[in-house]
Amino acid sequence: MPTIAHRHIDVDGFNVFYREAGPADAPKLLLLHGFPSSSHMFRDLIPLLADRFHIVAPDLPGFGLSDMPSRDSFAYTFDNIAGLIDRFTERVGFDRYAVYVFDYGAPTGFRLALKHPERIAAIVSQNGNAYEEGLSDGWSPIRAYWQPPTQTNRDALRDAHEGHDEVAIHARHARRVGGFARWLLARRLLPEPSRRARSRSAGSRRQGKNRQKAR
């Protein structure tokens, strides 16, 4: 079984976590995960390829164990994410590589290819759209979360979340998957006092369950 190293690297002050495996002199392969996941999704794939490729799989900004700066200091756009991953590839010595893209990894990886086509040996795309029109109608409720976080948009999202329409259904699903999705929904949907109140309410419920168990 090939050894998978878990590493961190500083990219212009941003801490990026990544998994690395395979011979340093083998053809290079960059794995870019999707939403709401991390490089953990490649834990079974990496050992299957590590005998033939030098593999690097980073956690994208805001995902996994990479830094998650506030939106005041980092704009979570694909342009910014791709720019940071571009610098990451330079820091780890990936001057020419194949890239595997999945879901959110696609608009990230495609931007790398457009910026540095001479560096890209191959592209493998799984569930990756190259254009917004490629998204099905099922994404329509989620598009609301992509809008700028103005007070008007926050109010609209909160109203939808409190109702029973399709946006609320997607919101409940995203909370179940947890992690980045839960953080994103909380930041998008709830003002700070509401987040604190919801946290206190959850804590009270847990205490109540613990008291029942103690009895």
What is the enclosing helix (H) or strand (E) of 125?
strand 120-126
What is the enclosing helix (H) or strand (E) of 58?
strand 54-58
CB-based contact 184:145 (threshold 8 Å)? yes
pLDDT for 207:
59
pTM given for the model: 0.65
Q: Is the pLDDT of residue 204 over 60?
A: no
Domain range summary for the chain, segments of one domain joined by +: 1-135, 137-215
Q: Is the pLDDT of residue 166 over 50?
A: no
Q: Is the pLDDT of residue 190 over 50?
A: no
Domain 1-135 has CATH 3.40.50.720: no
| Mean pLDDT, residues 17-30 | 97
Higher per-residue confidence, 60 vs 195: 60
Rounded Cα gap, residues 4 and 46, in angstroms: 8
Higher per-residue confidence, 175 vs 151: 151
177-212 burial, b at 16+ Cβ within 10 Å, e below that, comes to: eeebbeebbeebbbeeeeeeeeeeeeeeeeeeeeee
Question: 67-102, pLDDT tens digit by residue?
Answer: 998 888 888 888 999 999 999 999 999 999 999 999
